[in-house]
Structure 1
Amino acid sequence: MRVELFVPCVIDQVYPETAFNSIKLLQKAGCEVHYNPNQTCCGQPAYNAGFWDEAKKIGLKFLDDFADDCYVVAPSASCTSMIKNGYDDLFTNSTSHNRCRNLQSNIYELSDFLVNVLKKEYFGAELVGSAVYHDSCTSLRTCNVHNEPRKLLQQVGGLELLDVAQPESCCGFEPSFTVKFAGISTAMAEQNIQQAVAAKADYIISTDSTCLLQLQAYIDKHQLPIKTKHIADVLTSGWANI
């Protein structure tokens, strides 16, 4: 199966290893992975800030950079949601309407693609420790991804998934919100981390690097004994030992 990989801006700039691990994961699942080095942003930051004309220009480039006749997979529910939902505002009834609809039907968040399209949940990963899973807002509310990451993580050798009271509470990250309402944003991150620490988790795992970036910044500032990991990095952990 041919798959095109979309690497979001934050992963490209901050977590490049997650992109490489996504490729390894898809290849292990039997996919032929293609990466277009000309790809850039999906346009979400401009869209969320209200600059729809600028977002549309970026979106048109995105439509040009990716095929609309094969699967496109992204290790990010946030960016996947932008394509599936935000592009409705930008391209409905435009000359790019049909191209947009085709791409929208073919783009998937990584865990959703592995579980629901490829029907694969076990990848031989090993990570000793305990973890809580953080549902990102877009993963849960706009991509309808909830059980898929948990099914994958339950197959990781040595990893204990812990329950917390509010796994679905927002981490507080959105670029303009984080800047304009820093105090509220920080308090939201603190709430998520406190419940993970109280559960004695070693890791906070999520499908979205933006959530992890927000949470890790708070962890680093307060020197807390917990780490964040993207699900792609977890699912490729321990492969050298197999």
Structure 2
Amino acid sequence: MARTTATVPGDASGRRLLITRPAEDAAPLAARLAAAGFITLVEPMLEMVWLDGPEPEVEDVQALLFTSANGVRAFTRRTGRRDRPVLAVGDATARAARDAGFVRVESAAGDVHALAGLVRERCTPTGGVLLHVAGTTVAGDLAGMLAQHGFAVRRLSLYDARPSRRLTPATIAALTGDSSDDRLDGVLIFSPRTARSFVSLVAEAGHISRCRTVDVYCLSPAVAEAVCTCPSGPVSWRRVQVAARPDQDALLALLGAP
């Protein structure tokens, strides 16, 4: 198994790629890749369930912290308020906030550590509460990082990301295809949780050995670590490639995609 950050040549040549993002994020990504000449399949590893409840209280909030585009979607489903500054974990989340109507938006262009650093640069502990809009499960201890610097963080869980229970027949067929014309060439994975879910489902379907014929493109080293093991043991891939930065554009650069 080779792990590299080298860029794949830009000629898509009909390469077949599996996108494991939730449906809301997978659709525009699939369109972008299709325009570049790739053949795409979508197999969401997580289903977003929006939680009902009262309108979020933001009067005492100095900034909204979004660690995913789904947080933006969940927040805007509950309220029309767009008057608070937004600090987003990455560029895709920042774009989602701008598209939703927020005007004061900044991106940390990284992970939760980068977001915590941006908060310390832009906010003060005495300026008010920071509202972290998230799902019921979060990666990283953003509140803990900021509490060390005197910030008060209120986490608001507005959605539940529920893992898929099985792979679709189309994905199994792509994994097990005997012909190079219909066989899967690569899998795009954006989070450790998604990585663990995917390899577990492949193992449950009895096809984990097929991963050795597939490249996996990982958003971060943590994703690469998670995708290389499953409950039954290590997982061997043809190549494990890791984005230079934890954002979608850097991941697509591994493919040579515009």
TM-score (norm 1): 0.33
- Higher RCO, 1 vs 2 (CA within 8 Å, ≥6 residues apart): 2
Based on CA coordinates, which of the two structures has the bigger radius of gyration? 2
More strand by share: 2
More helix by share: 1
